[in-house]
């Protein structure tokens, strides 16, 4: 742990006033002041070591000069001495900053009752209730298991070979050869990767990941001990209840060379990369079998874990500390966050507040952009973790942890920043640069909160209110087509005559049988044999007459007539006299051109916003056709089980998501059929038109949509 001090940091001097006006609290005797590396601007730095808690604090040149004259016992005398003996120019407020830092981190001995009370208060603040501890630590907590320092010292000679240039060159050669061989066997490599996507493969990856992470931590430990740093503990940490190894290498802050600290921070990643290189080469050389499968999991797990997790600077893993050491910028996250919050407030409100740290412009811009990237990454990560804990635990606890995760890591930081805006409200409302942005924010809030959207939009089909599809009852030949498409005809008018050879043949057979049985019944009195079977003959005659009636009815169906006054529409252009047609082949559609309706399908939330009699508009997809006024005629009370018209299905250019089952289109979510009457004359060329439907219903807001969706999701997932 480390902290950087800035002389311009704010201080509540009254809360830290010593008991005696001209006496500073004495420093703890066990503290050690160590030389540190030069800062990025060339200024010297030092590390203040607290051996009790094994924590290090980075201090700058002004702070060092204050501590070097601490024995003077008075801020004014310290300032006078610094100005007389150095080129620095400090104030008493700068000395009070150092006093506050030392007191907050318990680096001074308490004086009197006030000092003791302050320590007690700090200790109480550190200890939380059980539920607070669980809230803060269920995602990450550590359990120390080993004190490996002596063992590491004994084993150093055995691992010295891994730090040689020879091992480095051999590993680079193995990596090059392994990648070359994988490229030649890429199809087999990809197929093996797919084959491991199973429960057994997941178990193997878990074992491989555990082994790699243990070696990763030993890489940190051996490197730190090799450079003279003590390694007090090693153990296991739980990250979202997943165990991972950890090593305490805080003493790397003793190292004065930045290259040495980078070596300690990069040791884990380099260890994993070496394992990945040798495992990749081993996979290309070994025959198929258990050993080859093991090194495959070791190689793939190591590459992914190193590049996707450890190398990322967005979380406090190796990549973060490497970047912090490379930039020589301790406390990279909190300091960059402070800069980004200042930048956000200045861009929004132009308050003219002093910048938290004075840095070169390029570094300042880079840190601000880095902070925004970290926020975006953590927003995505915390939402993902929230979903993970929801699905990982049982339903009730999962919902609770999901709410805690989103509330604590997403909503609470935003709420705190809004609180800072509220505290600065007197300056914000008088700032000339913020007025336009406040108006823009008010407009956006108005759009988000006020229910201004009156429209319910969907997709629908316009067709005649009365339409009658014409089908061929069976195989036939067109004998006559007396009506032309679009011609108005009365009810009962013949639209089309079909010659059905099979139906006519069955009619003739039935007619002949009726004639034969009728003759037998008439002459049965003249013949003894016929008279004996007369009852049977009468029954057969009745059956034959029924068969003849059915044949006549069937043949009558081949004469297609108008069921109501209307026009013949959508006649196939291939139909002509003498053309053969098949069974159930559609010949055309007979419609009533005087009344039109539009059918659409809405979700339950959309149906709740409309009522019978509500107005609307229909906008045909066909270019050049006018929009038509609508009025809601009926709303189905039950959800549609199967979509009757494929033109509205997503696979046919429609908007209703469906899945096909048993030759039916089943909607993916509940939709309700709504029928709207067309209030004005339809275009002459209208038959069946697809288009957009707009219904004027009850208003809604965007905020209401979010709240309803969230409430519906919570109710559905909770099983209420």
Give me the phi and psi of 609, to 5 degrees please.
Answer: -90, -5
According to the per-residue pLDDT averaged within each range, which of 445-449, 551-555, 696-700 is highest?
Answer: 696-700
Residue 452, in any domain of the structure:
no
Banded model confidence at residue 56, pLDDT cuts 50, 70, 90: confident
The predicted-structure confidence for 327-382, as pLDDT tens digits, reads as follows 878 888 889 999 999 998 888 888 888 888 888 889 899 999 999 998 888 777 77
pLDDT at 445 exceeding the cut of 70: yes
- Maximum separation of any 2 CA atoms in the chain, in Å: 155
pLDDT at 164 exceeding the cut of 90: yes
Give the torsion sign (CA, 393, 398, 404, 407).
positive
CB count in 10 Å sphere of residue 653: 12
Beta-carbon contacts of residue 64 (< 8 Å; ≥ 6 apart): 33, 44, 46
The secondary structure of residue 481, as a DSSP letter, is: -
What average pLDDT does range 100-112 have in this prediction?
A: 80
Banded model confidence at residue 700, pLDDT cuts 50, 70, 90: confident
Judge whether 95 and 11 are in contact, CB under 8 Å: no
What average pLDDT does range 665-689 have in this prediction?
A: 84
Residues in the chain: 720
Domain check: are 292 and 344 in the same one? Answer: no
Least Cα distance to 348 among 422, 413, 418, 434 occurs for 434
Residue 8, in any domain of the structure:
no
pLDDT of 109 reads 79
**What is the three-state SS of 261-318?**
HHHHHHHHHHHHHHHHHHHHHHHHHCCCCHHHHHHHHHHHHHHHHHHHHHCCCCCCCH
pLDDT at 720 exceeding the cut of 60: no
Distance CA 123, CA 131 (A): 18
| Neighbouring C-alpha atoms within 13 Å toward the C-beta of 7 | 16
Residue 482, in any domain of the structure:
yes
pLDDT at 155 exceeding the cut of 90: yes
Mean pLDDT is lowest, of 36-50, 189-203, 304-318, 669-683, for: 189-203
pLDDT at 426 exceeding the cut of 50: yes
Residue 171, in any domain of the structure:
yes
Judge whether 491 and 564 are in contact, CB under 8 Å: yes
Distance CA 168, CA 181 (A): 20
pLDDT at 528 exceeding the cut of 80: no
The predicted-structure confidence for 267-282, as pLDDT tens digits, reads as follows 988 998 898 899 889 8
Domain check: are 378 and 473 in the same one? Answer: no
Strands (E) across 500-625 are located at 559-561, 566-569, 580-581, 586-591, 596-602, 615-620
Domain check: are 213 and 358 in the same one? Answer: no
**β-bridge partners, 247:** 234
pLDDT of 234 reads 92
The predicted-structure confidence for 373-421, as pLDDT tens digits, reads as follows 988 887 777 776 666 656 655 555 556 666 666 676 678 888 888 888 8
Domain boundary among 127, 152, 177: 127
Token output for 443 = 């407009």
pLDDT at 686 exceeding the cut of 80: no
Q: Is 499 exposed, middle or buried (0-12, 13-18, 19+ CB in 10 A)?
A: middle
Rounded to an integer, what is the distance from CA 236 to the centroid of its chain?
30
pLDDT at 434 exceeding the cut of 70: no
pLDDT of 331 reads 83
Which carries the bigger pLDDT value, residue 306 or residue 93? 93
Beta-carbon contacts of residue 386 (< 8 Å; ≥ 6 apart): 401, 402, 405, 406
Domain check: are 194 and 290 in the same one? Answer: yes
pLDDT of 530 reads 64
Distance CA 25, CA 11 (A): 17
Distance CA 533, CA 515 (A): 17
pLDDT of 710 reads 56
What average pLDDT does range 636-653 have in this prediction?
A: 87
Give the torsion sign (CA, 188, 190, 196, 198).
negative
Banded model confidence at residue 22, pLDDT cuts 50, 70, 90: very low
Domain check: are 38 and 121 in the same one? Answer: yes
pLDDT of 702 reads 67
Domain check: are 618 and 648 in the same one? Answer: yes
Percent of the residues in the chain that have a pLDDT greater than 70, as a whole number: 80
Domain that holds residue 158: 137-326
Domain check: are 609 and 499 in the same one? Answer: no
pLDDT at 133 exceeding the cut of 70: no
- CATH number of the domain at 672, please: 2.40.30.170
Residue 29, in any domain of the structure:
yes
Distance CA 356, CA 338 (A): 7
Give the torsion sign (CA, 213, 215, 216, 218).
positive
Tokens 């070169």, located at residue? 360
Least Cα distance to 39 among 276, 309, 258, 267 occurs for 258
Q: How many domains does the chain have?
A: 5
Domain boundary among 274, 295, 326: 326
Residue 456, in any domain of the structure:
no
Residue 383, in any domain of the structure:
yes
pLDDT at 8 exceeding the cut of 70: no
Banded model confidence at residue 302, pLDDT cuts 50, 70, 90: confident
Domain check: are 183 and 310 in the same one? Answer: yes
Residue 451, in any domain of the structure:
no
pLDDT of 472 reads 81
Judge whether 59 and 44 are in contact, CB under 8 Å: no
Domain check: are 529 and 660 in the same one? Answer: no
pLDDT of 220 reads 92
pLDDT at 193 exceeding the cut of 80: no
Least Cα distance to 209 among 283, 308, 126 occurs for 308
Token output for 120 = 């007690």
User: Nearest 10 degrees: CA dihedral of 474, 480, 486, 492?
Assistant: -80
Judge whether 231 and 224 are in contact, CB under 8 Å: yes
Domain check: are 321 and 366 in the same one? Answer: no
Domain check: are 179 and 32 in the same one? Answer: no
CA distances to 415, 422, 431, 644 from 345, rounded to whole Å, are 14, 12, 12, 56
pLDDT of 112 reads 59
Domain boundary among 102, 127, 152: 127
The DSSP annotation for 506-527 comes to HHHHHHHHHHHHHHHHHSGGG-
675: left (phi over 0), alpha (psi -120 to 50) or beta: beta
Mean pLDDT, the chain, as a whole number? 80
Least Cα distance to 448 among 697, 696, 699, 704 occurs for 704
CB count in 10 Å sphere of residue 654: 20
Domain check: are 640 and 668 in the same one? Answer: yes
Judge whether 514 and 544 are in contact, CB under 8 Å: yes
pLDDT of 417 reads 86
**β-bridge partners, 617:** 629, 694
Total-model pTM: 0.57
């Amino acid at each position: 742990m480390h902290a950087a001090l800035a002389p311009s940091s704010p201080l509540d001097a009254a809360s830290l006033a010593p008991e005696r006006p001209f006496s500073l609290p004495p420093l703890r005797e066990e503290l050690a002041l160590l030389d540190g590396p030069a800062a990025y601007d060339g200024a010297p730095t030092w590390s203040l070591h607290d051996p009790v808690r094994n924590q290090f604090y980075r201090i700058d040149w002004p702070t060092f000069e204050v501590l070097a004259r601490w024995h003077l016992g008075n801020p004014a005398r310290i300032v006078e001495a610094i100005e007389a003996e150095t080129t620095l120019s400090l104030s008493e407020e700068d000395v009070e900053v150092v006093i506050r830092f030392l007191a907050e981190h318990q680096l001074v001995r308490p004086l009197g009752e006030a000092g003791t009370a302050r320590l007690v208060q700090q200790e109480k603040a550190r200890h939380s209730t059980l539920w607070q501890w669980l809230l803060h630590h269920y995602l990450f907590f550590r359990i120390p298991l080993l004190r490996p320092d002596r063992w590491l010292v004994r084993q150093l000679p055995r691992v010295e070979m891994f730090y040689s240039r020879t091992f480095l060159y051999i590993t680079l050669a193995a990596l090059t050869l392994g990648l070359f061989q994988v490229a030649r066997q890429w199809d087999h490599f990809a197929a093996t990767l797919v084959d491991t996507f199973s429960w057994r493969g997941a178990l193997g990856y878990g074992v491989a990941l555990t082994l790699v992470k243990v070696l990763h931590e030993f890489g940190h430990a051996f490197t730190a001990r090799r450079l003279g740093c003590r390694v007090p503990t090693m153990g296991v940490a739980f990250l979202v209840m997943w165990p991972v190894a950890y090593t305490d290498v805080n003493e790397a802050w003793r190292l004065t060379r930045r290259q040495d600290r980078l070596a300690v921070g990069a040791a884990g990643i380099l260890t994993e990369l070496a394992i990945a290189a040798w495992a990749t080469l081993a996979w290309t050389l070994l025959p198929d079998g258990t050993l080859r499968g093991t090194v495959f999991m070791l190689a793939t797990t190591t590459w992914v874990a190193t590049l996707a997790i450890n190398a990322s600077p967005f979380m406090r893993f190796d990549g973060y500390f490497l970047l912090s050491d490379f930039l020589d910028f301790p406390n990279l996250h909190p300091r960059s966050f402070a800069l980004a919050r200042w930048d956000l407030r200045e861009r929004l409100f132009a308050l003219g507040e002093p910048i938290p740290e004075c840095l070169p412009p390029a570094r300042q811009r880079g840190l601000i952009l880095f902070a925004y990237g970290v926020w975006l990454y953590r927003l995505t990560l915390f939402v993902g973790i929230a979903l993970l804990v929801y699905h990982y635990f049982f339903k009730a606890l999962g919902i609770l942890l999901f709410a805690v995760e989103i509330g604590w890591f997403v909503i609470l930081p935003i709420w705190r920043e809004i609180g800072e805006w509220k505290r600065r409200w007197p300056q914000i409302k008088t700032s000339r640069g913020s007025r336009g942005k406040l108006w823009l924010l008010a407009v956006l809030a108005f759009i988000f909160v006020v229910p201004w959207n009156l429209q319910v939009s969907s997709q629908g089909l316009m067709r005649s209110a009365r339409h009658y599809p014409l089908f061929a009852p069976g195989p036939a030949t067109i004998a006559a087509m007396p009506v032309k498409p679009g011609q108005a005809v009365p009810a009962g008018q013949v639209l089309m005559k079909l010659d059905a050879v099979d139906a006519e043949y069955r009619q003739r057979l039935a007619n002949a049988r009726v004639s034969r049985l009728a003759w037998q019944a008439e002459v049965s009195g003249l013949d003894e044999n016929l008279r004996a079977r007369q009852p049977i003959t009468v029954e057969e005659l009745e059956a034959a007459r029924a068969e003849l009636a059915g044949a006549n009815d069937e043949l009558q169906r081949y004469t297609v007539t108008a069921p109501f006054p209307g026009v013949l529409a959508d006649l196939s252009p291939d139909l002509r006299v003498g053309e053969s047609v098949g069974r159930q082949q559609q010949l055309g559609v007979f419609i009533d051109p005087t009344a039109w309706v539009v059918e659409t399908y809405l979700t339950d939330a959309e149906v709740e916003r409309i009522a019978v009699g509500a107005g609307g508009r229909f906008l045909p997809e066909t270019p050049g056709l006018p929009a038509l006024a609508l009025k809601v005629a009926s709303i189905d009370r039950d959800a549609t089980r199967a979509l009757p018209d494929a033109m509205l299905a997503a696979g046919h250019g429609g908007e209703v998501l469906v899945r096909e089952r048993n030759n039916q289109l089943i909607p993916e979510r509940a939709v309700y059929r709504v029928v709207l009457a067309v209030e004005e004359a339809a275009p002459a060329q209208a038959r069946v038109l697809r288009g957009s439907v707009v219904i004027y219903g009850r208003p809604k807001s965007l905020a209401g949509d979010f709240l309803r969706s969230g409430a519906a999701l919570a109710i559905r997932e909770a099983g209420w």
